[in-house]
């Protein structure tokens, strides 16, 4: 994920303050989504009856709608979801609607995006991806509401970027965004790669079209062509209808390819061919489809070393990194740390209705001395824990338990959670931050690793 929400002052404020309305006729889906999103957004409202949307909109300011495409009517066609999408957009032209759809409904989801939907998520969703998608949607809502201010786009102005390295990054973003140049974003987990992709899209001439994200590390090799290029009805078992791929969904917009370093070598050739020809061939079709997308890729891996090892195509590397943006880890932008701490304290105090507390110089010294393998997200969790658990009038070094976290690396510790955190940190470091490789080394699934990363603030 994006560690989208914890990257800068501008986006974090908007995401935290956002109100989400989830509309789905499955009570279990509503419960699961509410429990997940309550931790990320200020308010999460739910309803099983789409007929209540209008009355809710009359009494509440909804920032993002998470709308199922199939209710009692047209359960398999998605038509009712389209109907409610049009109703919402009619009531509020600035509304941001994210659709929930099953795999077979993707073609309808693409049609809905062309009719005004901001994005779609697949059921069953991946927690990290759902949060990232809604986070981007919350930012989109704010930019739509402030459209008059966008005549001179300056979304970086409110970001926390006191360090020279981050000022350089934001200057590159502002210069590159209006072009159609392909961009490769490099950085460790938690540095905000997806936020940079969003900023590039928002400031481009394609901002009125879709920003479509795909995690290449999570696409099974057998589904790669169908997921990205689409397929025709009858192309394979269960292909009961035509389905557009991610490239078609991003037509005239931006395609964000995350974890591009995880793409299997055999599939890199197919991706390169599409990028060179600017057309896709849906599975089961002999008619290519022209596509017009701006490509933004991201990785936390050393692609040059992968090229040297024969694991990544050199010509594909040249294709995706016309412009390269390197995001610094938190330990290399410590000038931003005091402002980030103050920012997170203000947000968490508001979230938990707690008084804001000053942070002592001793505490800041402790925070500066930490390695921060989890970057901005880890800092956010550390601040949140300190604010909740401290009963003093100010936060001191002992409130942040950074030294206790670091001492978890002591192999003599018998604390199971400390040992688990040590193992996960070690696996992530050994894998260079690559989730797939780290999960393989630990013998657990990617989803299980994501849960533990979230649990330990990594």
- The pLDDT of residue 168 is above 90: yes
**CB-CB contact of 11 with 36 (8 Å):** no
**For residue 306, what are its two tokens?**
């992968």
Domains 152-328 and 331-455 fall in the same CATH topology: no
Q: Which two tokens stand for residue 402?
A: 């950074």
Q: What residue spans of 282-415 are helical by DSSP H? A: 303-308, 314-320, 337-352, 361-369, 375-389, 397-400, 402-407
Per-residue pLDDT, 21: 94
Name the DSSP letter for residue 198: H
Q: What does the pLDDT read at residue 44? A: 92
Residues 6+ apart with CB under 8 A from 196: 169, 173, 185, 325, 327
User: Do the beta carbons of residue 170 and residue 156 sit within 8 Å?
Assistant: yes
Choose the CATH number for 331-455 among 1.20.1560.10, 1.10.645.10, 3.30.70.580, 1.10.8.60.
1.10.8.60
Q: Which of 185, 267, 263, 257 is nearest to 217 (CA)?
A: 263
| Sheet of 211-215, strand order | 211-215, 254-258, 294-299, 183-186, 323-326
State how far the alpha carbon of 78 is from the alpha carbons of 69, 83, 101, 355, in Å: 5, 9, 8, 46
Fold category of 152-328 in CATH:
Rossmann fold (3.40.50)
**For all residues of the chain together, what is the average pLDDT?**
79
- Parse the chain into domains and list their residue ranges: 1-150, 152-328, 331-455
Strand residue runs (E) in 200-320: 211-215, 254-258, 279-280, 289-290, 294-299
Q: What pLDDT score does 326 carry?
A: 95
pTM for the whole thing? 0.57
Confidence of residue 412 (pLDDT cuts 50, 70, 90): very low
Task: Judge whether 389 and 399 are in contact, CB under 8 Å.
Answer: yes
Which pLDDT tens digit goes with each residue over 264-319? 888 899 889 999 999 988 888 888 889 999 999 999 888 999 999 999 999 999 99
**Extended strands (E) in 8-147:** 19-23, 43-47, 64-68, 97-101, 119-122
Joined tokens for residue 365: 């010294």
Angstrom distance (rounded) from CA 448 to CA 450: 5
**68 to 21, 392, 411: CA distances (angstroms):** 11, 46, 48
Distance CA 127, CA 102 (A): 16
Question: 34 pLDDT exceeds 70?
Answer: yes
Residue 408 has pLDDT above 70, yes or no: no
Q: Which of 196-200, 225-229, 345-349 has the lowest mean pLDDT?
A: 225-229
Q: How confident is the model at residue 106 (pLDDT cuts 50, 70, 90)?
A: low
Q: Highest-confidence range of 50-64, 121-135, 167-181, 220-234, by mean pLDDT?
A: 167-181
What's the fold here for domain 1-150?
Rossmann fold (3.40.50)
């Amino acid at each position: 994920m994006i560690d989208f929400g914890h990257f800068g002052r501008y986006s974090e404020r908007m995401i935290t303050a956002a109100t989400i309305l989830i509309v789905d006729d499955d009570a279990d889906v509503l419960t699961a989504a509410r429990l997940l999103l309550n931790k990320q957004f200020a308010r999460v409202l739910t309803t099983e009856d789409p007929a209540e949307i209008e009355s809710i909109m009359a009494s509440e300011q909804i920032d993002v709608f998470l709308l199922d495409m199939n209710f009692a009517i047209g359960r398999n066609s998605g038509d009712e979801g389209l109907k409610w999408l049009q109703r919402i957009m009619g009531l509020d032209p600035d509304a941001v609607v994210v659709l929930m759809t099953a795999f077979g409904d993707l073609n309808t989801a693409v049609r809905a995006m062309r009719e005004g939907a901001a994005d779609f998520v697949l059921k069953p969703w991946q927690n990290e991806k759902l949060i990232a998608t809604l986070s981007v949607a919350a930012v989109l809502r704010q930019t739509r509401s402030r459209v008059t201010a966008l005549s001179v786009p300056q979304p970086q102005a409110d970001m926390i970027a006191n360090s020279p390295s981050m000022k350089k990054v934001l200057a590159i973003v502002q210069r590159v965004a209006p072009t159609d140049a392909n961009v490769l974003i490099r950085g460790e987990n938690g540095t905000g790669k997806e936020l940079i992709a969003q900023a590039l899209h928002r400031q481009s001439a394609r901002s009125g079209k879709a920003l479509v994200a795909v995690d290449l590390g999570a696409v099974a090799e057998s589904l790669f062509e169908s997921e990205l290029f689409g397929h025709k009805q009858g192309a394979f078992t269960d292909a009961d209808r035509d389905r557009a791929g991610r490239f078609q969904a991003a037509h005239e917009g931006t395609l964000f390819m995350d974890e591009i370093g995880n793409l299997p070598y055999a599939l890199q050739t197919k991706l390169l061919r599409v990028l060179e020809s600017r057309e896709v061939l849906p599975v089961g079709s002999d008619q290519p489809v022209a596509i017009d997308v701006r490509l933004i890729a991201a990785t936390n891996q050393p692609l040059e070393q992968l090229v040297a090892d024969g694991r990544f195509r050199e010509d594909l590397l040249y294709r995706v990194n016309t412009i390269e943006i390197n995001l610094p880890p938190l330990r290399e932008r410590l000038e931003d740390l005091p402002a980030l701490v103050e920012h997170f304290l203000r947000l968490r105090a508001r979230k938990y209705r707690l008084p804001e507390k000053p942070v002592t110089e001793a505490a800041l010294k402790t925070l500066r001395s930490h390695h921060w393998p989890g970057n901005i997200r880890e800092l956010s969790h550390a601040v949140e824990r300190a604010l909740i658990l401290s009963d003093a009038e100010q936060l001191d070094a002992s409130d942040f338990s950074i030294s206790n976290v670091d001492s978890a690396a002591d192999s003599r510790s018998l604390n199971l959670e400390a040992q688990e955190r040590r193992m996960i940190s070690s696996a992530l470091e050994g894998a260079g931050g690559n989730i797939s490789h780290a999960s393989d080394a630990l013998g657990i699934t990617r989803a299980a690793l994501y849960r533990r990363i979230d649990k330990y603030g990594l």
